[in-house]
Amino acid sequence: MILCSCNRLSTSRVRAVLERQCQTDPYSLVTPGRLFAMTGNRMQCGRCARLVNEVIAKELRQIQGALPETSRPRKERPHER
């Protein structure tokens, strides 16, 4: 599915970029702006920002669920602070 018609950004391209980023740094924060930069583009009109953000969250949940336990970001518990 095309998420951004300005840059022809698709869900499959987003997933590929996120998979590569999770392998490189599983703790990094990926925003729509950062995602566009990773693809060599920049956001043009901004109408896609909300949808791109939703797809980033969905894809990261799926990717991180498939990572080995040692690669997943650890959830901090209140008593461990």
> What tens digit of pLDDT does each residue of 21-44 get?
988 888 889 999 999 999 999 999
Which are the contacts of 75, defined by CB distance < 8 A and separation ≥ 6?
none
Which pLDDT score is estimated for 19? 93
Domains annotated for the chain, with CATH where assigned, are 2-66 (1.10.10)
Best CA proximity match to 19, nearest among 30, 33, 3: 30
At 47, which amino acid appears? R
Looking at residue 63, its pLDDT comes to 86
Encoding tokens for residue 11?
């869900």
Q: What is the pTM of this model?
A: 0.74
